[in-house]
Amino acid sequence: METTLIILKPDAVQRGLMGRIISRFEDKGLQVVGSKMMQISQDLAATHYEAHKERPFYKGLVSFMTSSPVLVLAIRGNDAIAISRKMMGATFGSKAEPGTIRGDFGVSNSFNLIHGSDSPEAAERELSLFFKQGEVLSFDRAGDAWVYDMSGGKPE
């Protein structure tokens, strides 16, 4: 089981898409194990996106991410990182396939609704930036027996 960071960006919050996007993750069988609505500070945005510091879009990205509240989620499931990223769709809404979050709700190449960790290492780093110890929970869901085939001893 993996846990990944998902951020519903300012455009998703302002457009009232939070519930619809969360429902997609839950409908897929992924588990929300942490949730926090927050205003990202300049320092946190700069730290989160530090890998892009030298890129031309960095300043605009930090400005955008601090322009309005966001909803930060910890999502858990078998292969949660790859599944979440596939659900998100291509980075640019204009290029994202229908059926994906960005493909169904976005057309902008700047405002792309959602962020998701791209690797287990990134997920660990990013989750620690946005959640304090004890804010990401572990709990059993009765329905997991119908989400994952556990007959082989591990979720499949």
Please report, in tens digits, the pLDDT of each residue of the chain (156 residues total). 999 999 999 999 999 999 999 999 999 999 999 999 999 999 999 999 998 999 998 999 999 999 999 999 999 999 999 999 999 999 999 999 999 999 999 998 889 999 999 999 999 999 999 999 999 999 999 888 889 988 888 888
> Which two structure tokens, joined as six digits, stand for 51?
């890998």
Place of tokens 């429902």: 23
CATH topology of domain 2-134: Alpha-Beta Plaits (3.30.70)
Determine whether 16 is exposed, middle or buried from the number of CB atoms within 10 Å of its CB (0-12, 13-18, 19+).
exposed
Just list the catalytic residues: 115
What are the residue boundaries of the structural domains of the chain, listed by start? 2-134
Q: Which pLDDT value is given to residue 145?
A: 86
Q: Which pLDDT value is given to residue 109?
A: 84
Q: Which pLDDT value is given to residue 39?
A: 98
Q: Which pLDDT value is given to residue 26?
A: 97
